[in-house]
Amino acid sequence: MPYAAFYLSIGKIFIVILNVLILWFIIMLSLKRSDFIELIVPIVCTIIFSNLICNSILGVYDEIVDAILTCVAVDLEQHKGKVKFGNQDLHKILHKIYACHDSEK
């Protein structure tokens, strides 16, 4: 799971930086001057709110992926590796991943 947490953190950082840059360009176009002290409060608020929204949305996404993979693992364990429930395409993808992982060993 460290890879998933790393990619989610990179996504959060990217979204926050993108929101700050969009705010910066909007303020620069509307004010026509660059007084950095006036920009501190909106930028800090944007960072805080973007981070809160990213954490909530990507946290739900992370839980959904964990739940789906747990259901697949239980399905494979209960039915001795045969697909009985769930999406057939997901099981095909996971079997390809398992085959590639086993061939590397």
Predicted confidence at residue 19, as pLDDT, reads 94
Q: In the prediction, which pLDDT does 1 show?
A: 53
Does residue 48 surpass a pLDDT of 70? yes
Give the global pTM. Answer: 0.67
Domain region containing 36: 2-104
Highest mean pLDDT among 9-13, 76-80, 95-99, 100-104: 9-13
How many domains is the chain partitioned into structurally? 1
Over residues 45-60, the mean pLDDT reads: 92
Neighbours of 68 (CB within 10 A): 13
